[in-house]
Structure 1
Amino acid sequence: MRAVVIGAGIVGLTTGLALRRAGAEVVICEQAPEIRAAGAGLGLWANALAVYDELGIGEQVRAIGKPSEMYFHDSAGRLLDTPEFGVEDHRYLLVHRAKLNDLLADAVGRENIRLGTGFLEYREHANHVAVTLSDGSTEEADVLVGADGAYSAVRAQLVPGTPAQEHVGHHAWRAVIPAAGITVLRNRLILGSHGCRGGYVRTHDGSVYWLVNQFKSPPLTGTRKQQAMERARHLEDEGEDGILADLIDATPEELILHNQIMVVPPLPHWVSARVALAGDSAHAMSPHITAGATLGIEDAAVLSHLLGSTGDVPAALAAYEAAQIPRYAHVAELSAAVEHSPTPAEFAHHYAAFSHWMITQRPRHLARNQVGA
């Protein structure tokens, strides 16, 4: 089997690696001139780590990450406890996106990645798909996987009229900086007022990742640093240690990333006979559940398992869609419960309920040891 994967982000690279482990010949096409990652820190939950274990790189992934826990506090510093859930429902691995991308690129084989090569269109035939690329070349394959993110060009052809949409009023600011001069003894994730949440976590190399998000934000004014500082005031009551504000203040303006959060509307289908979507191209949603990459990694594993277990590509893709669309309908319900929680305590409860479901209810195609060795 031969596969073309569009996009060399985390999901595209994981898809390429999983398909190679399943015996496929793979070429990954990336329109950027280099392997790079948008964003800063990234949380990988137990279900994503299980996929990487099954692909043989789990220990390498853990070596570039720091074990962390997702517990929330209110703006007065009080822990918002969720006694109905266990400690395992709060644990994740914090990694830097760029370092994970580099590790995955090495694992899949950089000779299998075509950089500076964007996607233009595909044409499906009875027994193959022909993919036209931005350099004028054409790749023929048994299957095409669009793992090209929320603004997916593959999705634009497969499911026309479904562009990424603004999650109105939802913005995020974040950065990774050295902790020099600021003592950060513990991680802290805070649920504040005015729809704000954020905090800071220590990374494996001694740096600190800070983030600030806001739902229903008023129109933005000022610099990125000023915008983040304004939201931080809703996260730390007077008399608190003010570490989040200190971290933001210490961050050079050019290192602060800001995003208007974009989402992909629910799609009527994810596949055709020889084309499939994976990751954010299929289901980009609000990052307040911090599981987009983890869920996309599951897509890669499910897809590769199904394709590796049969020579019937259309049947494998149909099974993939039948498994994943209902799963993501439930993800959307759980995510909405978190987003619309009326109090910080309820936000913490619904968040733990989501993570518990996610790590205990793996897709049925991912029973342990089912991903190709």
Structure 2
Amino acid sequence: MRAVLIGGGIVGLTTGLALRRAGIEVVICEQAPEIRAAGAGLGLWANALAVYDELGLGDEVRAIGKPSEMYFHDPAGRLLETPEFGVEDHRYLLVHRAKLNDLLADAVGRANIRLSTGFDAYDEHADHVTVRLTDGGEEQGDVLVGADGAYSAVRAQLVPGTEAREHDGHHAWRAVFPAPGIPVPDDRLILGGNGCRGGYLRTQDGKVYWLVNQFNSPPLTGTPKQQALERAAHLEEDGRDGILSRLIEATPDEVILHNQIMLVPPLPHWVSARVVLAGDSAHAMSPHITAGATLGIEDAALLGRLLTPGGDVPAALAAYEAAQIPRYEHVARLSAAVEHAPTPELFARNYAAFSHWMITPQSRSQPQHAETGRARA
């Protein structure tokens, strides 16, 4: 069996690795001239690390990451308690996207990756799929995997009219840099007013990753640095040390990344007989739950289990869709409970409820703790 994958990001590369470990030949087509990653820090939860353990890459992934914990504070520095949940529901690994991509590319085998090769269209046949590429060439495969992100060209053909949409008023700013001369005694994630969240984390290689995001943002003015500082003001009460603002001030302008958050609408289907979507191409969602990559890695693992040499491709893809669409409907409900929590206390509690469900398979069919009303006394 041969698989053609579109997209050389984390999900595409992980899918390629999972399929190769299953005994399937793969070719990964990446439109960029090199394996690279847009963005900065990335959180991998326990379920993603379990996938990399299964693929024989767990130790290498942990070696490029920093064990971290997702606890929230208010602007005065007070910890927002989540006594219903254990420490394991807060733990994740912070890695740099580019380092993870390089590690995955090496594991897949660079000879199996075609760079500067974008997707044009596919022709689906009863027993194979022909993939037409932007360089004028073609690839033949038994299955086509679209792992080409929120703006997926594969999705545009498979499910027309499902373009990525703006998450109105939701913006994010972030950077990774050495932060010379600014002491950062601990990691800190803060829930503030005016829909602002943010904080800073120390990375495995001694740098600092800071982030700020805002829901229901007014129209943006000024430079990205000025925009980030304006939001950081809602995360630092008078008298606090102002580490976040100092980090933003010290960051070179060209290092700061700003994004209008984009979402993929719920899809009526993710597959045809020989074409399948994985990761953000199927379910790009708001990064406020910091789980998009982790959930996409699970997509990759499931495809690696269902697709087998000589197996029934349409049946495998149908099983994948039957498992994943209901799962992501539930992800959307839990994510909305976090986003629309009326208080910082409920935001923290609903976030922990989401991560608990995500990393605990047996909890997925059980009643959830996420709340949208007033916090309990």
Q: Look up the match of 1:324.
A: 324
Percent of residue pairs bearing the same amino acid type? 82
Structure 1 equivalent of residue 173 of structure 2: 173
Q: Quote the offset at 1:310 in angstroms.
A: 6.3
TM-score (norm 2): 0.96
Residue by residue over 1:124-162, the C-alpha shift from the partner in whole angstroms, topping out at 9 and shown as x without a partner, is 101000000011111110000000000000000000000
Partner residue in 2 for 1:277 = 277
Q: 1:362 Cα shift?
A: 7.4
| 1:179 Cα deviation after fit | 2.8
1:94-243 alignment runs, 5 A limit? 94-243=94-243
Residue ranges of structure 2 left out of the alignment (5+ in a row): 365-377
Detail structure 1 runs of 4+ shifted over 6 Å in the superposition: none
CA contact (8 A) 1:224 1:258 kept: yes
Q: Give the partner amino acid of 2:124.
A: E
How well do the aligned residues superpose, as a CA RMSD in angstroms?
1.1
Change over 3 Å in CA distance of 1:363–1:318 after alignment to 2: farther
Amino acid at match of 2:272: S
Shift, 1:263, TM fit: 0.1
Aligned partner of 1:138: which letter? E
Q: Distance in 1 between matches of 2:235 and 2:334?
A: 24
Q: Helix, strand or coil: the match of 2:234? A: coil
Q: CA separation in 2, counterparts of 1:216 and 1:169?
A: 4
Cα distance per residue 1:241-278 (max 9 Å; x no partner): 10000000000000000000000000000000000000
Amino acid at match of 1:133: L
Q: Secondary structure of the equivalent of 1:221?
A: coil
Between the aligned partners of 2:11 and 2:193, the Cα distance in structure 1 is: 34
CA distance in 1, matches of 2:205, 2:120: 40
CA distance in 2, matches of 1:111, 1:362: 39
Residues of 2 paired with 1:128 and 1:304: CA distance? 18
Instruction: Tell me how far apart the structure 2 counterparts of residues 363 and 77 of structure 1 sit (CA, whole Å).
Output: 32
Task: Identify the residue that residue 74 of structure 2 maps to in structure 1.
Answer: 74
What is the number of equivalent residue pairs in this alignment? 364
Give a deviation string over 1:185-232, Cα, whole Å, max 9, x none: 100000000000000000001000000000000000000000000000
User: Structure 1: how far apart are the matches of 2:308 and 2:150?
Assistant: 26
- Following the alignment from structure 1 to structure 2, what is the Cα–Cα distance between the partners of residues 36 and 138? 24
CA distance in 1, matches of 2:220, 2:120: 35
Give 2:301's aligned residue. 301
Partners of 1:143 and 1:309 in 2: how far apart? Answer: 11
Structure 2 CA distance, aligned partners of 1:295 and 1:127?
A: 30
SS of the equivalent of 1:74 reads coil
**Residue 302 of structure 1 contacts residue 363 of structure 1 at CA under 8 Å; is this kept in 2?**
no
TM-score normalised by structure 1 residue count:
0.97
Q: Distance in 2 between matches of 1:25 and 1:72?
A: 44
Match of 2:345 in 1: 345
Per-residue CA distance 1:300-350 (angstroms, 9 max, x = gap): 000111012861000000000000000000000000000000000000000
Match of residue 93 from structure 2:
93
Contact map agreement 2:179 2:251 (CA 8 A) in 1: no
Q: Which residue of 2 aligns with 1:41?
A: 41
- Contact 1:119 1:153 survives alignment (8 Å): yes
Distance 2:310 2:356 in 1: 32
In the other structure, the counterpart of 2:311 is: 311
User: 2-side partners of 1:131 and 1:155: how far apart?
Assistant: 14
Whether contact under 8 Å (2:47, 2:298) holds in the other structure is yes
In 2, distance between residues paired with 1:325 and 1:280?
Answer: 13
